């Protein structure tokens, strides 16, 4: 018997997993993450998948190994107070349930003449929570997941990870030999073809043509070098931020949205660069998270620097604290007063902000 001949069951699975795109019109849409570059790709599949499902998907570099991180199905409009998760918040996990044999069960079993092992009985019950609810028609902009990862694919991936570490060390030696001003970040073997991608950072343009020739003679595969920025380096490598959690660019999203010093000013944060910069040396990505909230809230309030009439005196608004819901007003002679935001009233007739008279009388009486 020829052991190398594939059995009918494996051929059937391969055929089922590699259905051509012309046979597929409707499917489920998922967000797939590449462990190598931490980039997210929207892909479709004909079956319902669970979170952390390993798949082979078309990345922008070619077919690669990826992990399903959530559903990309279209979500409805959010309603305040809603508790049901939507979109990529939906996920599926597998868990084990442990069943213990207690004393009451042992006693009743002995009375009935049934022998029960007194040791703890463990029963593995896979619980799958679907992350996609309804099929949708797939447009041409969404690529299809090639197949689910099997045992052979997982073994190949683990082998490629080891080779990537070896390739990275060797390439670093070659960079030193060629005296190039570049810092290698990572190396990645593509899963679907014989190709190695080296990611590097550099402050200048690098002529690495001779380096590529040297690497091709060693690895005998296609070589691609990609220059990335320092923020991209943090996204690829990952690490712990000043908050003690993983980098946002590494674990939350792959898009590096622009961050400006204006965002820190709007949130009344310290403009000390060491306090508002991340390990990458750039402004913290989280500065942009609450920026829109501060802008929207301040639209409902008087602007800083404007005047507020307190009894018979005009005082200048020197600070507005959105979190504590208070503003501070300062007089000409330096006296300051803190007023809750809910005590402000906008006079439509005179088009100005005032403070509730009852609150002022109570405050000044004390």
Residue 127 CB coordination number (10 Å): 11
* Predicted confidence (pLDDT) per residue in 102-129, tens digit: 454 444 444 444 444 444 333 433 444 4
What would the two tokens of residue 193 be? Answer: 């073809």
How much is the mean pLDDT over the chain?
78
* Predicted confidence (pLDDT) per residue in 148-181, tens digit: 999 999 999 999 999 999 999 999 999 999 999 9
Q: What is the mean pLDDT of residues 92-101?
A: 38
**Reported CATH class of domain 300-365:** mainly beta
Distance CA(90)–CA(84), nearest Å, equals 9
Residue 110 CB coordination number (10 Å): 11
Task: Give the SS3 label for residue 38.
Answer: coil
Residue 154 CB coordination number (10 Å): 12
What's the CATH number of domain 154-228, 3.40.50, 3.30.300, 2.60.40, 3.30.160?
Answer: 3.30.300
Q: pLDDT higher for 196 or 98?
A: 196
* Predicted confidence (pLDDT) per residue in 249-292, tens digit: 888 776 778 899 999 988 888 888 888 888 888 898 888 888 88
Of 357, 360, 322, the residue nearest 341 (C-alpha)? 322
- 143 contacts 64 by C-beta, under 8 angstroms: no
Reported as type and span, the H/E element at residue 309 is strand 307-310
Task: Give the SS3 label for residue 133.
Answer: coil
Asked whether the predicted pLDDT for residue 25 surpasses 80, the reply is: no
* Predicted confidence (pLDDT) per residue in 324-352, tens digit: 888 898 988 888 888 888 888 888 888 88
Distance CA(342)–CA(319), nearest Å, equals 15
- 247 contacts 236 by C-beta, under 8 angstroms: no
In the chain, domain spans: 8-74+130-149, 94-128, 154-228, 250-296, 300-365
Distance CA(276)–CA(349), nearest Å, equals 43
Distance CA(235)–CA(19), nearest Å, equals 34
Classify residue 341 by its DSSP letter: G
- Cite the DSSP H helix spans in 18-150: 103-111
Structure confidence at residue 11 (pLDDT): 39
Q: Cβ-count burial of 87 within 10 angstroms (0-12 exposed, 13-18 middle, 19+ buried)?
A: middle
Asked whether the predicted pLDDT for residue 27 surpasses 50, the reply is: yes
């Amino acid at each position: 018997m020829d052991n190398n001949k594939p059995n009918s069951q494996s051929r059937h699975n391969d055929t089922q997993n590699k259905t051509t795109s012309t046979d597929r019109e409707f499917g489920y849409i998922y967000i797939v993450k590449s462990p190598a570059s931490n980039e997210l790709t929207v892909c479709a599949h004909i079956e319902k998948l669970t979170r952390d499902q390993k798949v082979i998907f078309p990345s922008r570099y070619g077919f690669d190994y990826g992990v399903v991180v959530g559903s990309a199905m279209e979500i409805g409009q959010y309603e305040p107070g809603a508790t049901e998760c939507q979109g990529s918040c939906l996920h599926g996990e597998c868990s084990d349930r442990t069943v213990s044999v207690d004393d009451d069960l042992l006693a009743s079993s002995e009375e009935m003449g049934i022998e029960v092992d007194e040791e703890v009985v463990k029963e593995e019950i896979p619980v799958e929570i679907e992350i996609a609810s309804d099929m949708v028609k797939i447009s041409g902009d969404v690529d299809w997941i090639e197949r689910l990862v099997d045992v052979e694919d997982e073994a190949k991936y683990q082998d490629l990870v080891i080779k990537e570490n070896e390739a990275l060390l060797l390439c670093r030696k070659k960079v030193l030999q060629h005296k190039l001003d570049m810092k290698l970040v990572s190396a990645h073997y593509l899963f679907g073809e014989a190709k190695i991608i080296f990611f590097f950072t550099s402050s200048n343009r690098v002529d690495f043509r001779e380096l590529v020739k040297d690497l091709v003679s060693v690895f005998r595969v296609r070589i691609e070098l990609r220059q990335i920025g320092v923020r991209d380096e943090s996204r690829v490598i990952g690490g712990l931020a000043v908050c003690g959690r993983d980098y946002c660019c590494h674990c939350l999203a792959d898009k590096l949205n622009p961050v400006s010093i204006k965002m820190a000013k709007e949130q009344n944060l310290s403009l000390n660069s060491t306090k508002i910069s991340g390990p990458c040396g750039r402004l913290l990505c989280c500065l942009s998270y609450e920026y829109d909230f501060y802008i929207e809230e301040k639209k409902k309030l008087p602007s800083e620097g404007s005047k507020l009439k307190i009894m018979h005196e005009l005082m200048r608004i020197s600070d507005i604290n959105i979190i504590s819901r208070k503003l501070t007003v300062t007089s000409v002679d330096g006296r300051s007063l803190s007023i809750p935001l809910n005590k402000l009233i906008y006079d439509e007739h005179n088009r100005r902000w005032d403070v509730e008279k009852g609150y002022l009388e109570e405050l000044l009486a004390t």
